[in-house]
Amino acid sequence: MPVMKQSMTDRIIYLDHAATTALDPQVFEAMQPYFTQLPGNPSSIHQAGRAALQALDDARELVATVLGANRKELIFTSGGSEADNLAIKGVALAQQRLGKGNHIITSAIEHHAVLHAVEYLQQFGFEATVLPVSERGLVRPDDLRAALRPNTVLVSMMYANNEIGTIQPVAELGAICREHGVPFHTDAVQAAGSLTLDVNALNVDLLTLTAHKFYGPKGVGMLYARRGIPLSPQLNGGGQERQRRAGTENVPGIVGMAVALNMAEERRTQYAQHCTTLRDRLIDGVLRTIPDTHLNGDREQRLPNNANLSFDGIEGESLLLLLDQKGICASSGSACTSGSLEPSHVLLALGLSHDEALSSVRFSLGKEVTSEDIDRVLAALPRMIEQLRSVAPWYQERVAAMPIA
Ligand SMILES: *Cc1c(COP(=O)(O)O)cnc(C)c1O
């Protein structure tokens, strides 16, 4: 990423792939003709329109193949947030109209695109059960079983968590929903490129993806909706996407997403191996060299590219600034609301205290990260942590109170 270059010698170390990834040059190349040479609207009947429609059809077929789905079951959207909103509101409202009920089940660690869509529906008479997770960040299938009611109209549980990387037992959760005849949605945004997206193996009825998390373009995503699942459109207008999502299709974006998804699927094993090796090098290195650090989320049921670590006594935000000065991009789950830091809802759901949650940093790896990059991070971290802890009064007090080993 030359534009972000810090100095002539230091390369940026980008460890925030869970936030977004750089467009793959091959994907960019596949998209380019649809900006300038082939700018048609797929709804137009002339040859420019037909060329665009052909590109759209090809992209749809390619995505359907990766998911083991039928092309008619795909709805292209502006990204993951829109697809999550369409799944939640679209199914809940359609089910309500059919007189099926008004109860939704989700989990405490979902992305805000899911949680806030559910909260929105609660203003309009829907009820929600938000399942807790174990201290390792996993939903217990028995909790889902116990939460299902005769009036449950939708269950939404993410495939892999964006903050702590935990992988949920989606196929098992889906099987429970199917036994009860309840539509099951999964936000698979973080899973793409690392885990299988086969909608039949996963027992899912609805599945969300967004291209910019797997080296595709930003602003384009999709919802898979199994045939026969009631879905009420949330964007009204033209009849695009089989009447389920109005608006002229983002042709270059959709072409890019399809190519990126296909590449991600082809490279999945290799990518997972590459990231797992680096992830473990990072986690083991940090835990070995820096005292009072913890890994958040299950060690095994975990995305290959995720390392979420808590460093006692520090604020994750401060560490991010020090890392950034060294050209290292990472992230924390906390959000700044009205000038004060709000800890991540995901970390709180694991049972972390307010302070522990604020002391966490997420490193999310990707295909271009090297072991030299990880070693640079491992070399830089101990001094940064020491520096931050030296000005953290409670950490100093705790260390002083500790018996000398
Ligand atoms: C990034 C992300 C989203 C949102 O996708 P956008 O395309 O940015 O709207 C939704 N869910 C998860 C798990 C994500 O990581």
CATH number at 337 reads 3.90.1150.10
- Res. 395 pLDDT band, cuts 50 70 90: confident
Say how many Å lie between the CA of residue 158 and the centre of ligand 1.
Answer: 11
Q: In this structure, are residues 385 and 310 in contact, taking their beta carbons and an 8 Å threshold?
A: no
Confirm or reject: Cβ of 303 under 6 Å from ligand 1.
Answer: no
Residue nearest to atom 5 of ligand 1 (CA): 80
Task: Mark whether 194 and 275 lie in a shared domain.
Answer: no
111 is a domain residue: yes
405 is a domain residue: no
Catalytic residue selected from 177, 275, 329, 336: 336
- Please state the domain count of the chain: 2
Say how many Å lie between the CA of residue 189 and the centre of ligand 1.
Answer: 6
- In 3D space, the residue among 230, 229, 249 whose CA is nearest the CA of residue 238 turns out to be 249
Confirm or reject: Cβ of 190 under 6 Å from ligand 1.
Answer: yes
Residue 370 has pLDDT above 60, yes or no: yes
2 is a domain residue: no
Task: Mark whether 56 and 200 lie in a shared domain.
Answer: yes
Range of the domain at 232: 25-266
Mutate which of 156, 161, 163, 189 for ligand 1 pocket (most atoms within 8 A of beta carbon) = 189
Residue type, 330: A
pTM of the model as a whole: 0.96
Residue nearest to atom 4 of ligand 1 (CA): 80
Confirm or reject: Cβ of 217 under 6 Å from ligand 1.
Answer: no
Residue 7 has pLDDT above 80, yes or no: no
Task: Mark whether 370 and 245 lie in a shared domain.
Answer: no
Contact partners, residue 300, CB within 8 Å, separation at least 6: none
Residue 229 has pLDDT above 60, yes or no: yes
Task: Quick: pLDDT tens for 15-28.
Answer: 999 999 999 999 99
Task: Mark whether 259 and 224 lie in a shared domain.
Answer: yes
Task: Mark whether 167 and 258 lie in a shared domain.
Answer: yes
Confirm or reject: Cβ of 384 under 6 Å from ligand 1.
Answer: no
Task: Mark whether 305 and 242 lie in a shared domain.
Answer: no
Say how many Å lie between the CA of residue 321 and the centre of ligand 1.
Answer: 24
Contact partners, residue 76, CB within 8 Å, separation at least 6: 60, 220, 221, 222, 241, 245, 249, 250, 254, 257
Torsion region of 150: left, alpha or beta (phi above 0 gives left; psi -120 to 50 gives alpha): alpha
Residue type, 120: Y
145 is a domain residue: yes
Confirm or reject: Cβ of 316 under 6 Å from ligand 1.
Answer: no
Q: Which atom of ligand 1 is nearest to the CA of 82?
A: 9
Confirm or reject: Cβ of 221 under 6 Å from ligand 1.
Answer: yes
- Res. 396 pLDDT band, cuts 50 70 90: confident
Burial zone of 235 (CB within 10 Å; 0-12 exposed, 13-18 middle, 19+ buried): middle
Helix (H) or strand (E) holding 268: helix 268-289
Say how many Å lie between the CA of residue 367 and the centre of ligand 1.
Answer: 19
Confirm or reject: Cβ of 306 under 6 Å from ligand 1.
Answer: no
Confirm or reject: Cβ of 113 under 6 Å from ligand 1.
Answer: yes
Task: Mark whether 135 and 243 lie in a shared domain.
Answer: yes
Task: Quick: pLDDT tens for 241-297.
Answer: 999 999 999 999 999 999 999 999 999 999 999 999 999 999 999 999 999 999 999
3 is a domain residue: no
Q: Which atom of ligand 1 is nearest to the CA of 113?
A: 10
Task: Mark whether 107 and 229 lie in a shared domain.
Answer: yes
Question: What is the predicted pLDDT for the residue at 8?
Answer: 47
Question: What is the predicted pLDDT for the residue at 341?
Answer: 82
Residue where the block lists tokens 């009947």: 45
Residue that finishes a domain, picked among 266, 291, 310 = 266
336 given a catalytic annotation: yes
Task: Mark whether 259 and 388 lie in a shared domain.
Answer: no
Average pLDDT over residues 356-370: 97
Task: Mark whether 98 and 238 lie in a shared domain.
Answer: yes
Residue that finishes a domain, picked among 266, 296, 319 = 266
Residue that finishes a domain, picked among 246, 266, 286 = 266
86 is a domain residue: yes
Residue 67 has pLDDT above 70, yes or no: yes
d(CA 141, CA 330): 32
Residue nearest to atom 8 of ligand 1 (CA): 80
